[in-house]
Amino acid sequence: MNITKGEQIYEGKAKKVFATSDPDLVIVDYKDDATAFNGEKKGTITGKGVINNKLTNFLMKMLEEKGVPTHFIEEISDREAIVKKVTIIPLEVIVRNIAAGSFSKRFGVPEGKDLLSPTLEFSYKDDALGDPMINDYHIKALGIATDEELKTLAEMSFKVNEILKEYLLADNIILVDFKLEFGKTSSGEIVLADEISPDTCRFWDKDTREKLDKDRFRRSLGGEVEAYQEISKRVLGD
Ligand code: UDP
C-alpha cells in the first residue's frame, strides 16, 4: 500500500496513532507499556506490542471474513498496522461468559462461575471519571449513541463473542470476558476498532484454567511475558 507515515496524532497507554498521507487511514503503533487500575500501576511487558499487534490484526481479519466490519486494513510491521480512521464512540463494551474481575466483585459471584447466558455492559470511556459503568438510558440521554446504534453495538459484540469463543476453544483457550471499542468511519459506518489481545480479554487455559492475560500483571502473579507468548503461540503459531 502506497501510503506514508505522518505525524503522531495521539498517544494512549498502550498505542500511538499516526496520521498518514491518506486522510481516511491512520497507523497504530503498539507499545510494550502496561498499565492497570486507571494508570495507577505501570510497567512493561517485553514483546507485548508485537504480540498485541499481530494477534489483533489476525483476529480482526478473521472476524471481517465472518461478516463483522472492522477498522483493520493491513499489517505493515511487527508493531504497526494501517487502520481506517474512525471517531471512537466513547464506550467500552464488555462481554462476559464467565464471572471474573469487577463482575465478581460487584455481584458477589465467585470468579470462574459460568454465566447462564453471555452478558453485556457499557463503561463510559473517561479516564478522569474512572470509566464509570453506564446504561442504555444514560447513553441515549447524553447523546453518546442512539437506540439504533446501541442495538448495532450489542449485536456486533455478541457476534464477536460467538466467533471468538469457538475459535479460541480450538486452541484450548477459554474466552472468559473481553472489552471492545467501536468507531464511526468518515462514511458513518460503525466498525470494530481498538484491539483484541491479552490486554483486553481474559483468556484461561481450558484444562488448567491458568490465566494467560493481563491479570498476571494486574494481580502481580508474574509470568506475564510467558503468558502473552503462549497465547501468541497457540493462536498464531509463533
Ligand atoms: N477491560 C479492558 N479495559 C478496561 C477495563 C476492562 O480491556 O479499562 C477488559 C478486561 O481485560 C476484561 C474485561 O474487560 O477482559 C472485563 O473487565 P472487568 O470489568 O472485570 O474489569 P477489571 O477486573 O479488569 O477491572
pLDDT tens-digit series, residues 187-202: 999 999 999 999 999 9
Short-list 160, 149, 151, 201, CA closest to 60: 160
Distance 4 CA to ligand 1 centre (A): 34
Residues (pLDDT < 50) of the chain are none
Query: Of 92, 109, 179, 196, which is best to mutate to test ligand 1, by the most ligand atoms within 8 angstroms of its C-beta?
Result: 179
Give bridge partners of residue 98 from the DSSP assignment: 114
Rounded to whole angstroms, the Cα distance separating 61 from 226 reads 25
Mutate to test the pocket of ligand 1, among 35, 41, 102, 164 (most ligand atoms within 8 A of CB): 102
**From the alpha carbon of 37, which atom of ligand 1 is closest?**
25
- pTM here is 0.97
Query: Are the CB atoms for 177 and 184 separated by under 8 Å?
Result: no
pLDDT of residue 1: 74
Whole-number Å distance, alpha carbon 36 to ligand 1 midpoint, is 9
Q: Are the C-beta atoms of 91 and 139 separated by less than 8 Å?
A: yes
Helix 147-169 to helix 48-65 angle (10° resolution) is 110
pLDDT digit string, tens, across residues 147-188: 999 999 999 999 999 999 999 999 999 999 999 999 999 999
Contact 69, 103 (CB under 8 A): no
pLDDT, position 108: 98
Domain boundaries, the chain: 5-84, 89-221
Matching residue, cell 447466558: 117
130-147 burial, b for 16+ CB within 10 Å, e for fewer? Answer: ebeebeeeebeeeebbee
Residue type, 24: D
Distance 187 CA to ligand 1 centre (A): 30
The H or E element that residue 155 is part of is: helix 147-169
Give 135 Cα–ligand 1 centroid separation in angstroms: 17
The count of other CB atoms within 10 Å of the CB of residue 125 is 16
Q: Tell the residue number behind the cell numbers 466490519, with chain if given.
A: 69
CA dihedral 145, 148, 152, 153 (to 10 degrees): 20
Domain 89-221 CATH superfamily: ATP-grasp fold, B domain (3.30.470.20)
Return d(Cα 53, Cα 28) in angstroms, integer. Answer: 9
Fold of 5-84: Phosphorylase Kinase; domain 1 (3.30.200)
How far apart are alpha carbons 182 and 164 in whole angstroms? 17
CB under 6 Å to ligand 1: residues?
92, 94, 100-103, 131, 177-179, 200-202, 214
pLDDT attached to residue 235: 98
Dist CA 19 CA 224 (whole Å): 31
The alpha carbon of 201 and the centre of ligand 1 are apart by a number of angstroms equal to 7
pLDDT, residue 2, reads 84
Pocket test for ligand 1, best of 177, 194, 199 (most atoms within 8 A of CB): 177
